[in-house]
A and B are shown apart, each in its own frame.
Chain A
Amino acid sequence: MSQSPLQQAQQQLFEPSGITESHLDKVFSQLQGADLADLYFQSTRFESWGMEEGIIKNGTYSIEQGVGVRMVVGEQTGFAYSDEISFDALTTAAKAAAGIGKAGQTGRVQAWQANTPAKINPLYSVDNPLAALTEDEKIALLNLADKEARAASPYVTQVMANIAGVHEHILIADIEGNLNADIRPLVRMNITVIVEKDGKRESAGTGGGGRYGFDYFTQADRVRDYANEAVRLALVNLDAVPAPAGSQTVVLGSGWPGILLHEAIGHGLEGDFNRKGTSAFSGRVGETVAAKGVTVVDDGTLENRRGSLSIDDEGTQTNCTTLIENGVLKGYMQDKLNAKLMGEQSTGNGRRESYAHLPMPRMTNTYMLPGNDDPEEILASVKNGLYAVNFGGGQVDITSGKFVFSASEAYLIENGKITQPVKGATLIGNGPDVLTRVSMIGNDLKLDAGVGVCGKAGQSVPVGVGQPTLKIDGLTVGGTEA
């Protein structure tokens, strides 16, 4: 019988340095008086390969490991970490983290002992994703990307392709005696092309991935699809006319445009901002913040998705958390610290970039449930407007609620018909009211292809988004045609 993830993680993280339960007991005894304390052990193997000008130009392999020690007393957190996993390093880090607590805490009677682990259904394989293909097979993928992109159009002048994969082992021991493990695969492929036609040049990129092995990219013609999509997008933009400027009716395509939800409402519903009262959504649970029919969830439980986690980085099982139900704000995304201080339960959204970072409430896969409208009818209902189907990044000011996201493929809608492609432009709106202007919701929910990265307070984590086709009556489009 194969080993459980917990046994495998212990083998990877504890055995080389001889860490035992009695060591953990001694470390936790340094953290007495904590309302919350945990040790986060992590080892990461990362690999990437890049191709350009038809040559495999570089590859990188990375070995990282370490342990982070956190102690929380009331609202105060002490944190220290070490890139060495050993009892000595743990003791030193615990001493530093305990600087937050009051000295001389006593009253401890029981030794730290691991509880019986809770049954967790893994959402992905424990197999090493990096070993799912041989080096030659990985290189063949990149060469295929080059071949497919160049075959797609004679106007392609450059093809850049990259694959990257991570294999992580994580063990989280908390002061309550919980010992949880997760073994996480994550792979990603990106293809960027440059096209040139009649002296005009454009570039575009696409990609995909998820919590799979590298062999994900050898299946279902994925590489060809990414390459064709990148070329198509670049060629469309060659013919783009200047984007309109000002308030427009905007139809957002399904899938990746769900970045709207991530920026406009997702960040504003993270527990830390709401506990501190710094979010434009603070204190608004129960209020109407979206049109009737709008239901938005954050769902960490989808198998193999990029934003999914079997357990979060505090050992809590992930959930499908309803953020907005039929237009009404239902609740926030929580980690342990903020949930405790707000008298709520963690929703399994406690995430951290690595052992060297503190956890905080973060999104997983954030998406809107489908409605009843036919996407064709949504477009046909617009006299003049913008149809935006692909996006670059986005950003939000949590406090004022103002958010932006950048369209990279968009078209004019004239008399219900898609006409010309327009140049990339920033769309800007106000989080707490943009969803009140949703007037039609498509029946075509789609999730993104699996390349999203979310940044918050200097920490990056992989996330997913999704939505059906949406019609928004009035969003400011940042074009040049005033």
Chain B
Amino acid sequence: MNASEITIADTEMREVSELVLKLSKKYGATDAELSLNRGAGLSVEVHKGQVDKLEYNRDQGLNLTVYIGQHQGSATTGDLSPQAIEDTVKAACNIAKYTGEDKYTGLADAELMLADHANNNDLDLYHPWDLNAEQAIEIAKECEAAALGFDKRIINSDGASISSYSGIGMIANTNGFTGIMPSSRHSLSCSVIGQTQGSEDMQRDYWYSTSRLHNQLDTAETVGKKSAERTLARLNGKQISTRKANILYSPEVARSIIGHFTSAIGGGSQYRKSTYLLDCVDTKVFPEFIHLHEQPHLKQAFGSSYFDKEGVATNNRNIVVDGIVQNYIMGSYSARQLGLKSTANSGGTHNLTLDTTGQSFDELLKMLGTGLYVTELIGNSVNGITGDYSRGAAGFWVENGEIQYPVEEVTVAGNLKDMLQNIVAVGNDVDLRGGTRTGSILIEGMTVAGA
């Protein structure tokens, strides 16, 4: 969506929002909150030099929650005609007549909300790309060609794709809060297949680049070559025997370790007592050199916003200092259950950074000495209540700080409580492509199962 379409959408969404909140009151709601979104995009996938798919996306939606006293009801619709809007409001209000009384439910506390009319414009998150189908096809073809031409062992393609999406979101509630969120996201990715001549073993890997600004994407050639290099590195992998080992997680997969931690300190897990880190504020769950913080106002970042899904103002905050948990990750509901205040995390976190302990990737390999360098995880056997962790993995066996050969068809297992305590280092090779920023993570004392 270009700037003038965004302006039109902004105006129309404000009208819809006003109508929905008014109708909600009319049908008996004491309070209501909504989110609206509208966006458009283009994506192209090529396979072996030919267009495989050309897709145009155009989405819109309304998500409404109403409160009748302490009773809650929700409804959503993708149809924003006046009739559908009225039906949606009625449906939500009807549901609230049947839900039970819940003393913790309701809008966020008014004093925590950002003042009336908030928008994320200053965060520089909206950079539309006037990309037409021909240009998109050209870039995707160039990307795939760079991968296919990289080495004769690259025998096939699983496709190169490019996508560009931009749109606007809005949050509003009957406390008078309205927040506007224009944003864009552009991505370029490539996945290719390698095979050594005479071998039946085929391997696939991929690489991608993503940014809110199209001119910050890696070049088509870079993405293509990187996908080919990663695929080639995996050829002729073997299963190692079962053993205890230290594990180095690459930044792409290290992010998931932080994810397991943040879900354990999520307000929902805490009040349901469904976490292996129960009542852990002021407890040392990591070594003292671990610091994790949230930076919601980083310009152009994927997780940035001045307010959360309930309109609560976001702020920079420390989540872990010197290995000690400072606070949970909560929206209003779970905060009230716990007798605490919202941390502005309704809808998730806003740019988490795990501070590096300063080592480069090569230094981490030396620190690992002998062990498994994991670059891919599949499956998810993680028990959030006990912390028991077991996942399929692929990567490389390392000896004397040097990569020896690719490894596949193994699992890595441990208990997250121990794993967090046994972190030895966090690399400076940070992956900036997601809402959680971390370098490689080295963890001691896990079990690798294989042959």
Write the chain A residue with the least CB distance to B62. Answer: A63
Q: Does B87 contact A (CB under 8 A)?
A: yes
Knowing A55-B101, A245-B449, A399-B158, say if A394 contacts B379 (CB, 8 Å). Answer: yes
Q: Does B288 contact A (CB under 8 A)?
A: no
Per the bound structure, the CA–CA distance linking A79 and B43 in Å amounts to 10
Q: Does B73 contact A (CB under 8 A)?
A: yes
Per the bound structure, the CA–CA distance linking A10 and B449 in Å amounts to 56
A400 and B408 contacting across the interface, CB-CB below 8 Å: yes
Q: Kindly list chain A residues whose C-beta atoms are within 8 Å of the C-beta of B78.
A: 63-66, 83
Knowing A61-B95, A423-B386, say if A480 contacts B409 (CB, 8 Å). Answer: no
A194 and B449 contacting across the interface, CB-CB below 8 Å: no
Write the chain A residue with the least CB distance to B337. Answer: A53
Partner of B242, one of A49, A59, A246, A356: A246
Q: Does B239 contact A (CB under 8 A)?
A: yes
Least distance between A103 CB and chain B CB atoms (Å): 13
B447 and A479 contacting across the interface, CB-CB below 8 Å: yes
B379 and A395 contacting across the interface, CB-CB below 8 Å: yes
Segment among A118-126, A313-321, A327-335, A404-412 that sits at the interface with chain B: A404-412
Per the bound structure, the CA–CA distance linking A430 and B237 in Å amounts to 13
Knowing A55-B100, A399-B204, A428-B409, say if A478 contacts B55 (CB, 8 Å). Answer: no
Q: Kindly list chain B residues whose C-beta atoms are within 8 Å of the C-beta of A398.
A: 204
Q: Does A414 contact B (CB under 8 A)?
A: no
Q: Kindly list chain A residues whose C-beta atoms are within 8 Å of the C-beta of B79.
A: 63-65, 83-84
Q: Kindly list chain B residues whose C-beta atoms are within 8 Å of the C-beta of A56.
A: 98-100
A404 and B379 contacting across the interface, CB-CB below 8 Å: yes
CB within 8 Å of A: which of B80-107? 84, 87-88, 91-92, 94-96, 98-102, 105
Q: Kindly list chain A residues whose C-beta atoms are within 8 Å of the C-beta of B451.
A: 246-247, 476
| A-B contact number at CB 8 A | 255
Q: Kindly list chain B residues whose C-beta atoms are within 8 Å of the C-beta of A253.
A: none
CB within 8 Å of B: which of A176-205? 194, 196, 201-203
Per the bound structure, the CA–CA distance linking A356 and B58 in Å amounts to 9
Knowing A404-B379, A425-B411, say if A76 contacts B51 (CB, 8 Å). Answer: yes
A478 and B392 contacting across the interface, CB-CB below 8 Å: yes
B242 and A425 contacting across the interface, CB-CB below 8 Å: no
Partner of A245, one of B76, B193, B386, B447: B447
Per the bound structure, the CA–CA distance linking A328 and B342 in Å amounts to 59
Q: Does B186 contact A (CB under 8 A)?
A: no
Q: Kindly list chain B residues whose C-beta atoms are within 8 Å of the C-beta of A106.
A: none
Write the chain A residue with the least CB distance to B159. Answer: A276
Q: Kindly list chain A residues whose C-beta atoms are within 8 Å of the C-beta of B151.
A: none
CB within 8 Å of B: which of A69-121? 74-84, 93, 96-97, 99-100
CB within 8 Å of B: which of A233-252? 243, 245-247
The B contact surface, by secondary structure, is strand
Least distance between A141 CB and chain B CB atoms (Å): 12
Per the bound structure, the CA–CA distance linking A99 and B378 in Å amounts to 37
Per the bound structure, the CA–CA distance linking A91 and B156 in Å amounts to 37
Per the bound structure, the CA–CA distance linking A392 and B381 in Å amounts to 7
Q: Does A135 contact B (CB under 8 A)?
A: yes
Q: Kindly list chain A residues whose C-beta atoms are within 8 Å of the C-beta of B60.
A: 83
CB within 8 Å of B: which of A425-457? 425-426, 428-430
Q: Kindly list chain A residues whose C-beta atoms are within 8 Å of the C-beta of B234.
A: 400
CB within 8 Å of A: which of B402-422? 408-415
Q: Does A139 contact B (CB under 8 A)?
A: yes
A402 and B204 contacting across the interface, CB-CB below 8 Å: no
Per the bound structure, the CA–CA distance linking A246 and B244 in Å amounts to 11
Least distance between A156 CB and chain B CB atoms (Å): 12
Q: Kindly list chain A residues whose C-beta atoms are within 8 Å of the C-beta of B390.
A: 243, 406, 424-426, 478-480
A63 and B50 contacting across the interface, CB-CB below 8 Å: no
Write the chain B residue with the least CB distance to A51. Answer: B100
Q: Does A277 contact B (CB under 8 A)?
A: yes
Q: Does A221 contact B (CB under 8 A)?
A: no
Q: Does A381 contact B (CB under 8 A)?
A: no
Per the bound structure, the CA–CA distance linking A392 and B79 in Å amounts to 35
Q: Does A296 contact B (CB under 8 A)?
A: no
Q: Does A477 contact B (CB under 8 A)?
A: yes
Least distance between B391 CB and chain A CB atoms (Å): 6
B50 and A60 contacting across the interface, CB-CB below 8 Å: no
Partner of A400, one of B74, B203, B447: B203
Q: Kindly list chain A residues whose C-beta atoms are within 8 Å of the C-beta of B242.
A: 245-247, 482
Q: Kindly list chain B residues whose C-beta atoms are within 8 Å of the C-beta of A358.
A: 53, 55
Q: Does B110 contact A (CB under 8 A)?
A: no
Given A64-B76, A478-B392, 4 extra CB contacts under 8 A: A79-B55, A202-B385, A395-B378, A476-B411
List 22 A-B residue pairs with CB atoms under 8 Å apart, sorted by A's residue number. A55-B99, A56-B98, A61-B74, A62-B75, A63-B84, A76-B51, A76-B52, A81-B57, A93-B56, A97-B56, A158-B273, A201-B274, A276-B158, A393-B380, A424-B381, A426-B391, A426-B413, A476-B411, A477-B449, A480-B415, A482-B244, A482-B448
